Chains A and B, each alone.
Chain A
Amino acid sequence: MANVCPYGRFTHAVVRGIPETFGTTLGDGCKNAEASVDLAKAKRQFGCLTGALRQKVGLQLVEIPPDPELPDSWRMEDVAVIQGDTALITRPFRQQRRSEAEAVRRVMSELHLTVVEMGDVEGDTGGATLEGSDVLFTGREFFVGISSHTNRRGAEVLADTFRDFAVSTVPVCGGARLKNICSMGGPDTIIISNSDGAKKTLRMMEQLTDHHYEVLTVPEESAANCVYIKGPAKHDFLLHRPVEECPDSVSAFQKLQDYTLLPTACSEASKLGAVLSSHCLLIDRKHTHF
């Protein structure tokens, strides 16, 4: 239906600021253990990101104030999966993160999205966990990466929520998240890293899909996550990691014809296992029928 349209059309972006507690609580497997994060730098990078979304791409930005109580709350992507007019509030793997949804829920309602709670969808979603960073929506279908944070039951709930679309589950290897190894680079383009695990996942995706996607392979895993947006002016924007962060992959992005490339640093967040897309929820409210 109306819901089915080429990927990339967005009008709004919902983000949440970097709290002072950034990096203090383990968000993912690979956090603190590593080098300490630079809070100020993280805030700067966040500012660059939001600035690009608002000023370069032209999205309306909805920024939720940071909450120090929720050190991972800036990972907006995990908390909800939005397609069309429906927002599925997910059930993150870690119990501590589930309260992050409250603010998001409010925003979704304000945007007149139909909010679906994972608990609502089917009786016993007991063990269901789902995080948005394991969900790749291509515009035509969903791929849900079965990872350490997302399980099949969670995927089932998603499938039950977005009934118009095929929902396929794919394995995510190496403890990563699905969106860490791939992302959309255009309406029919999937950007994916060159790692063996990613290749395996890609093969599965190709096996499961009815459609044909162009595949843009990048040598560095960090480069595999980009944010593609077809702005209000119908122009193609691609937020990607800058040369400093993925020197070998930038040339690959040059292949994208007529794209406006927006190098966006994300080094601090990436130390916590996050990626560019982790920061924002993209919403398309223009095509609503309601």
Chain B
Amino acid sequence: MTTEAGSETEVKEKPEESPAEPDQSEKPLEETQEVANAKDEEAIEKVKEKDGKEGKGISRFLPTWLKKQKSQSQTSPTKEVPPTEEEDSKVTQEKQEPAPEVNGHAEEEEETEEVKTEQVKEQEAESHSNASADTEPAKEERAEESTEKSPEDSKEATEGEKAEKEDKQVEAERQAEEGQTSIFQSPLRLVRKNKMKLVVCHVTLLDGTEFTCEVEKRAKGQYLFFKVCEHLNLLEKDYFGLSYTDSHEQKCWLDPTKEIKRQIRSNNWQFGFSVKFYPPDPSLLTEDITRYLLCLQLREDVASGRLPCSFVTHALLSSYTLQAEFGDHEPDQARPLDFISQLNIAPSQNKEMEEKILELHKSHKGMTPAQADTQFLENAKKLSMYGVDLHHAKDSEGVDIMLGVCANGLLVYKDRLRVNRFAWPKILKISYKRNNFYIKIRPGETEQFESTVGFKLQNHRSAKRLWKVCVENHSFFRLSAPEPPTKARFLTLGSKFRYSGRTQSQTRMASSLIDRPAPNFERTSSKRISRSLDGAPMISITDASNENGREPHMELHSDSKQQQQPLGASEPGLSQDHDKTQEEVLKHQASISQLKRSFMEAPPPSPPKVNQWENRLTSSPATMRIQQQQVGSVPPTETTTADNTIPDTKEPEKTTEVEIEETIVIQEVSRASKPGPVLVAAVLPAEPPAEGESRECRVRSEEKVAVVEEAQPKRQESISSESESDEEAEYHPNVTVSFCHTQIPEEKEEDEEEEQEKIEKDMRKEEDSSVPDSSEQTKAEEQPREAEPKAERKTSEGVCQADDSVSDPMMTPDKALNGHALPDEAVVTPAEKEEEPKVNGEASVVEAQLCPQVICCSEPPVVKTEMVTISDTFAAQKTEIATKEVPIVHTETKTITYEAAELDGNSDKEPGVLMTAQTITSESLCTTTTTHITKTLKGGLSETRIEKRIVITGDCDIDHDQALAQAIKEAKEQHPDMSVTRVVVHKETELAEEEED
């Protein structure tokens, strides 16, 4: 997490130095704080930076175990901590050999201090909670001051992940201890970050040319997409998308809202730019350039056979292509024939075809390229397979069929025959479960009951891909706006995925406002011929646009945001006439971008987030279970056994009941050492892979507040991805709400995998009673974790950082949490899966599902995820929760749930209404709050249940306790007449890899 976050932050904050200074200023303050936290800091430093001196201020943020380590390490003065030899060496290397690093290590050396400061900043960023953040920086500063070596806290560690990629040396160090990686490394990292790790993306455009651009490694799909659109000078971009080929040779759409890296899952940064939504009526497109691109796509579709058409039609289309590319047929000029073959117009080109094409071409005399394109589209759009995205499937009887997704709905083909069709309005729900894809059909006139039709896809990925395509197509073509928040509720389970872009109606609206002279663009083939007809089209274009009712003079404030790259320069292919109109174009683009933004930002953007959350909730088994538990949950005040050590074995107990009142279920609890009776904290050894921290705190009750803190903004993405990974997902195309979701998300494959992955690092967990701080872990990795929320959080963060650094290569998906919970299991469904025996010998693998209520694993060395469920009548108790110190080295995700006994499980099941969704983003922190309100009538009483989910994402360590407290406080303030019945804290660390899309 931290690392990732750091990278983002870095990217955002290119000026490292400047930020650093402020950090320093902050540091002093922090230092003061540090005094108190000195131990922690020390520990942290030790852990993270073995070399690093003790950063007292940092300690706060750092997990207790980290602190301990530091304290030990404190003695170790400057630079690398002796403990980790590797690190030291690395550090030294880094320091000494900054140059070697590709990313400009040289700078690092000089800037080591700066780096430190930067690191500090990063740390701050990491600490999502403001206060905590401050402290961290201080630590760093101190360390730096004391010695340059002073550690970069967890951030560094996190950074280490990045660094790993970049620097092998760093990696080694990281392995030793990510956190420990000295500042030096961090500088490098920082530099890198600052410089942003760039990756070269190769995008194959529709004309067959390749567009190459550099993007940050952490860039989201959107960024690359916009880059490409800029290159193409395309404004009506919503019909298009970027695709990549996944490891299974399947073409997948790049989700613009997620990091590219997390989607492609490989180092193959190859993409294809293509039409994603085929406009049913291309004549309604505003600009000719858009139509031109659509033509290019369709030519390809026809030539490849993807869009079947008759011989005649093929010839006709080709003739329009000829006209558009080469202009009028000239009798004396036989060249077109040659070009026909060049154009690869048809798969089965033959003499007969060419002759017909030529013959038809003659009849198009006088047509401008734009007109020819228009005619091409007018004919192409009538083809029955126009815009139909086919997916292989089997029907209920196992017969091979094709499912075609299009603007109108879902088509079922058997061979070439259409055997069924489900128009969007007839579909009540779309869902998938494993490799099954279901649609629920609205009852017909003569039918009384809605029916569900199921199809079998090749595998779960295919099912998910189909489902996503359906969701997107429905949203794009049928909705006026991407699912409004209120509607978002429909998704109860599984993937939170939703269409995030503009709908067709929105994009039409936006494009009607396009006010720019028709852009010149070069037709690729004609370019070869050097016979360009571009001039003509422009005129026609403008006319067309006018026809469409665009308002020529609408001016919007240009947003600086849009980074317009020099169109001409950047784009090899399109370099032609940009000169004149460039400014205008830019302007227009800006205005458009603004429009888009307004569109996106207002309703559209928020919904997706909401959805994500919902999905999460629904999707994550754990949450599901929890909800269920709440309903029937017993209010056992009994705290679950305080420390249940669920060692190695995952416990699949499916106790339906959950718990209670004050039980904390920790999914992965290595040690359950909670002194506090109420809270049972199980600490599982964190898995090495876990990186960043993300926490989700959900407070459910009448008011449910879910706070998710993600260490890094990126986290969010990761989270989303995670949710998506769910094997199941539902989507209700129609507003109608049917909340009978009996479906329970299944465990994710990923989770399992993650679980399996464990770090061998030794984690010593001290018993609850055991002194958190005092316990020293001989190994930096070992870190005591405190059961207490705060402590845990801190520790976890620290741990996570360490983990990240260490286990960068190994990425444990945050999803693990979700996966843990089994549907059956009742309330407490900690995500714990397995804990592998670690060095400590105690591997506590606890499956939340199994463990009904409180699962305490006391000795697990490595904890990947923790899920703590506390059902309290009082929110106040929540604070009590974290008292244990558990050494957690690698923590990916942690979920803490506080619930009141009274809760009904039903509430969860019912989506309710999304009231608000807001995102507050600062450099280091990103907070997203989603509120769901569910009203249920029971007897004569109406119960209002509000569920708030708060996601906090940041690079720096976050003061989770504070954040949680704040969230609860706010919730109470907002709803004074309500009581908090449940709080779930889910913390996730960044993982390098995300789940499947």
Chain A: residues with CB nearer than 8 A to chain B? 1-4, 84-86, 114, 141, 144, 152, 155-156, 159-169, 203, 207-210, 289-290
How long is the Cα–Cα vector from A250 to B383 in the complex, in angstroms?
36
By a CB distance below 8 angstroms, the chain B residues around A168 are 417-419, 421
- State whether A164 and B310 are in contact (beta carbons under 8 Å apart), knowing that A156-B415, A208-B420 are contacts in the complex: yes
- State whether A141 and B416 are in contact (beta carbons under 8 Å apart), knowing that A2-B379, A114-B311 are contacts in the complex: no
> Scoring B residues 354 to 389 as 1 if CB is less than 8 Å from chain A, else 0, what string do you get?
001001100100000000000000010011110000
By a CB distance below 8 angstroms, the chain A residues around B418 are 166-169, 208
From B310, B317, B421, B444, A162 is in contact (CB under 8 Å) with B310
- State whether A3 and B312 are in contact (beta carbons under 8 Å apart), knowing that A207-B420, A209-B421 are contacts in the complex: yes
B479 touches A (CB below 8 Å): no
What is the chain A residue whose CB lies nearest that of B317? A1
By a CB distance below 8 angstroms, the chain B residues around A160 are 416
What is the chain B residue whose CB lies nearest that of A159? B416
Query: From DSSP, what is the main secondary structure of chain B's interface residues?
Result: mixed
How long is the Cα–Cα vector from A111 to B625 in the complex, in angstroms?
72
- State whether A85 and B312 are in contact (beta carbons under 8 Å apart), knowing that A165-B384, A289-B356 are contacts in the complex: yes
Say how far B116's CB is from chain A's closest CB, in angstroms. Answer: 65
- State whether A166 and B313 are in contact (beta carbons under 8 Å apart), knowing that A159-B416, A210-B421 are contacts in the complex: no
How long is the Cα–Cα vector from A58 to B414 in the complex, in angstroms?
41
What is the chain A residue whose CB lies nearest that of B382? A4
B408 touches A (CB below 8 Å): yes
B309 touches A (CB below 8 Å): yes
How long is the Cα–Cα vector from A201 to B416 in the complex, in angstroms?
20
By a CB distance below 8 angstroms, the chain A residues around B317 are 1
- A163 pairs with B308, CB closer than 8 A: yes
By a CB distance below 8 angstroms, the chain A residues around B956 are none
- A163 pairs with B310, CB closer than 8 A: yes
A-B pairs, top 4 by smallest CB distance, nearest first, are: A166-B384, A159-B416, A1-B313, A1-B379
- B312 pairs with A289, CB closer than 8 A: yes
By a CB distance below 8 angstroms, the chain A residues around B926 are none
- A2 pairs with B310, CB closer than 8 A: no
By a CB distance below 8 angstroms, the chain A residues around B416 are 156, 159-160, 163, 167
What is the chain B residue whose CB lies nearest that of A166? B384
Say how far A161's CB is from chain B's closest CB, in angstroms. Answer: 8
Q: Residue among B384, B385, B408, B419 with the most chain A CB within 10 A? A: B384
- B359 pairs with A2, CB closer than 8 A: no
How long is the Cα–Cα vector from A160 to B360 in the complex, in angstroms?
24
What is the chain B residue whose CB lies nearest that of A5? B382
How long is the Cα–Cα vector from A152 to B876 in the complex, in angstroms?
69
Q: Which of B394-446 contact A (CB under 8 A)?
A: 408, 414-421, 444
Q: Which of B311-356 contact A (CB under 8 A)?
A: 311-313, 315-317, 356
- A86 pairs with B417, CB closer than 8 A: no
- B310 pairs with A169, CB closer than 8 A: no
By a CB distance below 8 angstroms, the chain B residues around A208 are 418-421
What are 13 A-B residue pairs whose CB atoms fall within 8 Å in the complex?
Answer: A1-B309, A152-B417, A156-B415, A163-B313, A164-B382, A165-B384, A168-B417, A169-B418, A203-B444, A289-B312, A289-B315, A290-B312, A290-B359
- State whether A207 and B421 are in contact (beta carbons under 8 Å apart), knowing that A1-B382, A3-B310, A165-B384 are contacts in the complex: yes
What is the chain B residue whose CB lies nearest that of A143? B418
From B360, B385, B419, A289 is in contact (CB under 8 Å) with B360
- A155 pairs with B417, CB closer than 8 A: yes
How long is the Cα–Cα vector from A208 to B423 in the complex, in angstroms?
9
Q: Which of B797-835 contact A (CB under 8 A)?
A: none
- State whether A156 and B417 are in contact (beta carbons under 8 Å apart), knowing that A1-B313, A3-B313, A86-B312 are contacts in the complex: yes
Q: Residue among B317, B356, B420 with the most chain A CB within 10 A? A: B420
Interface Cβ pair total, 8 Å cutoff = 87
By a CB distance below 8 angstroms, the chain B residues around A203 are 444
By a CB distance below 8 angstroms, the chain A residues around B313 are 1-3, 163-164
Say how far B390's CB is from chain A's closest CB, in angstroms. Answer: 13
Say how far B320's CB is from chain A's closest CB, in angstroms. Answer: 10
How long is the Cα–Cα vector from A269 to B811 in the complex, in angstroms?
77
How long is the Cα–Cα vector from A4 to B383 in the complex, in angstroms?
9
- A86 pairs with B419, CB closer than 8 A: no
- B419 pairs with A169, CB closer than 8 A: yes
By a CB distance below 8 angstroms, the chain B residues around A1 are 309-310, 312-313, 316-317, 379, 382-383
By a CB distance below 8 angstroms, the chain A residues around B384 are 141, 164-167
From A161, A164, A289, B383 is in contact (CB under 8 Å) with A164
Say how far B138's CB is from chain A's closest CB, in angstroms. Answer: 66
- State whether A289 and B359 are in contact (beta carbons under 8 Å apart), knowing that A2-B312, A141-B384 are contacts in the complex: yes
How long is the Cα–Cα vector from A93 to B439 in the complex, in angstroms?
37
Known: A4-B382, A156-B415, A208-B420. 11 other contacts (CB 8 A): A1-B313, A2-B316, A86-B311, A86-B312, A114-B311, A162-B310, A166-B384, A168-B421, A169-B418, A289-B360, A289-B363
- A290 pairs with B420, CB closer than 8 A: no
Say how far A215's CB is from chain B's closest CB, in angstroms. Answer: 14
- A84 pairs with B312, CB closer than 8 A: yes
Q: Residue among A2, A207, A210, A290 with the most chain B CB within 10 A? A: A210
How long is the Cα–Cα vector from A166 to B420 in the complex, in angstroms?
11
Say how far B376's CB is from chain A's closest CB, in angstroms. Answer: 10
How long is the Cα–Cα vector from A161 to B310 in the complex, in angstroms?
7
By a CB distance below 8 angstroms, the chain A residues around B363 are 289
By a CB distance below 8 angstroms, the chain A residues around B359 are 289-290
By a CB distance below 8 angstroms, the chain A residues around B312 are 1-3, 84-86, 114, 289-290
By a CB distance below 8 angstroms, the chain A residues around B309 are 1, 163-164
How long is the Cα–Cα vector from A4 to B317 in the complex, in angstroms?
13
How long is the Cα–Cα vector from A84 to B311 in the complex, in angstroms?
11
- A159 pairs with B379, CB closer than 8 A: no
By a CB distance below 8 angstroms, the chain B residues around A164 are 309-310, 313, 382-384
By a CB distance below 8 angstroms, the chain B residues around A156 are 415-417
What is the chain A residue whose CB lies nearest that of B375? A1
Say how far B351's CB is from chain A's closest CB, in angstroms. Answer: 14
- State whether A167 and B310 are in contact (beta carbons under 8 Å apart), knowing that A289-B356, A289-B360 are contacts in the complex: no
What is the chain A residue whose CB lies nearest that of B415? A156
How long is the Cα–Cα vector from A1 to B316 in the complex, in angstroms?
7
How long is the Cα–Cα vector from A161 to B360 in the complex, in angstroms?
21
By a CB distance below 8 angstroms, the chain B residues around A169 are 417-419
How long is the Cα–Cα vector from A165 to B384 in the complex, in angstroms?
5
> Scoring B residues 447 to 462 as 1 if CB is less than 8 Å from chain A, else 0, what string do you get?
0000000000000000
What is the chain A residue whose CB lies nearest that of B307? A163
By a CB distance below 8 angstroms, the chain B residues around A84 are 310, 312
What is the chain A residue whose CB lies nearest that of B311? A114
How long is the Cα–Cα vector from A155 to B418 in the complex, in angstroms?
10
How long is the Cα–Cα vector from A201 to B379 in the complex, in angstroms?
30
From B316, B417, B421, A159 is in contact (CB under 8 Å) with B417
How long is the Cα–Cα vector from A155 to B415 in the complex, in angstroms?
10
How long is the Cα–Cα vector from A2 to B421 in the complex, in angstroms?
26
Q: Residue among B310, B356, B383, B414 with the most chain A CB within 10 A? A: B310
How long is the Cα–Cα vector from A208 to B409 in the complex, in angstroms?
11
What is the chain A residue whose CB lies nearest that of B319? A289
How long is the Cα–Cα vector from A210 to B444 in the complex, in angstroms?
17
Say how far B842's CB is from chain A's closest CB, in angstroms. Answer: 61
How long is the Cα–Cα vector from A165 to B383 in the complex, in angstroms?
6
By a CB distance below 8 angstroms, the chain B residues around A207 are 420-421
By a CB distance below 8 angstroms, the chain B residues around A155 are 417
Say how far A286's CB is from chain B's closest CB, in angstroms. Answer: 15
Say how far B372's CB is from chain A's closest CB, in angstroms. Answer: 14
What is the chain B residue whose CB lies nearest that of A168? B418
How long is the Cα–Cα vector from A208 to B421 in the complex, in angstroms?
5
By a CB distance below 8 angstroms, the chain A residues around B310 are 1, 3, 84, 86, 161-164
Say how far A218's CB is from chain B's closest CB, in angstroms. Answer: 21
Say how far B746's CB is from chain A's closest CB, in angstroms. Answer: 33
How long is the Cα–Cα vector from A127 to B135 in the complex, in angstroms?
80
By a CB distance below 8 angstroms, the chain A residues around B360 are 289
By a CB distance below 8 angstroms, the chain A residues around B315 are 289
How long is the Cα–Cα vector from A1 to B315 in the complex, in angstroms?
10
By a CB distance below 8 angstroms, the chain B residues around A163 are 308-310, 313, 383, 416
